[in-house]
Amino acid sequence: MSDPDPAPLPDRATRSGFVGLAGRPNVGKSTLVNALVGATVAIASVRPQTTRRAIRGVDTDVEAGTQIVLVDLPGVQRPRDEMTSRMQKRVEKELADADVALRVVNGEEGVGPGDRYIAAGLLDARLDIPVICAVNKIDRLGRKVVPVLQEAASLKGVDEVFPISALKGEGIVELRQHLASLMPEGHFMYPPEDRSDQPLELLLAELIRGQVLVRTRDEIPHSAEVKVRNVSTREDGLVTIEAEIWVEAESQKGILIGKRGFRIGEIGTGARKVIEEELGARVHLDLQVKHKSRWRRDIDMLDRLGIE
């Protein structure tokens, strides 16, 4: 991965590096990144395969002189189309360039074949970097926590295991401190106030897509993508955002719009609220729903949507 321009250094030695998160779909990687950063930089959903791009969250502790760049990666799976093939290649590239690999396991489901597939297939070539395993959702385990932690510790290549609940914040401080201690000495790569390196348009698109995930039927989420076409600010401070929501079938377009526009109205209202909280400004959101058959297999369309 290409490093950004170094940020100004505090007047003492600092540590800064990349942590690549790997795990099966829906294990809580995005929720964990948000918990470590202390801000919403990646959308989290109960639906699997929410994350489609490598999203970097930046956790900086100026007092301690550490900066952790957390790379929230798509869930590891066997590629089934052009989009998932790109997602898988992105996972492999980001892990190859990371300073630390952070394996995330869904403690509620335990260690399964998918977790062993990741250990055997992705991390074999990178055993010269620390491999940490975070066992998530321990708040739901009760007495089962010890066996699950033991299973996680037995995964190939894992150096240490941390029990956490990303949603409730349990174990986050300890995990953050350990990750910070593993960062190599070097300049801060981002200004201390930054929480992500995402372009504004991508962050807004992800916040809109998050509302699509929450408010639509099961057949829609994997077929929907959002592209922000334009962002402008009026003299009175109102931010106008024009965005397109793409789906794969005309029937999905109808579901997304809803009877008399009810569903798209719900999505727009929900998205506007979260965007206003993020920007600290009033927002006018203009959403258009479009469809293109089999866009997840269309190389040109994926390029236009910025899915590398």
- The CA-based diameter of the chain, rounded to the nearest angstrom, is 61
> What is the tens place of the pLDDT at every residue in 270-289?
999 999 988 899 999 999 99
Q: Is residue 7 part of a domain?
A: no
Q: Is 129 helix (H, G, I), strand (E, B) or coil?
A: coil
Q: Is 123 helix (H, G, I), strand (E, B) or coil?
A: coil
Is residue 164 domain-shared with residue 22, that is, in the same domain?
yes
Domain limits for position 24: 15-182
Q: Is residue 39 part of a domain?
A: yes
> What is the tens place of the pLDDT at every residue in 138-165?
999 888 899 999 999 988 888 999 999 9
Is residue 74 domain-shared with residue 178, that is, in the same domain?
yes
Is residue 168 domain-shared with residue 44, that is, in the same domain?
yes
> What is the tens place of the pLDDT at every residue in 39-94?
877 665 444 444 444 567 899 999 999 999 998 765 555 555 555 555 556 666 66
- Please count the structural domains in the chain: 2
Question: Residue 267: CB partners within 8 Å, gap ≥ 6?
Answer: 208, 211, 212, 215, 216, 245, 256, 287
C-alpha distances in angstroms, 61 versus 5, 134, 178, 227? 19, 21, 13, 33
290, β-bridge pairs:
246
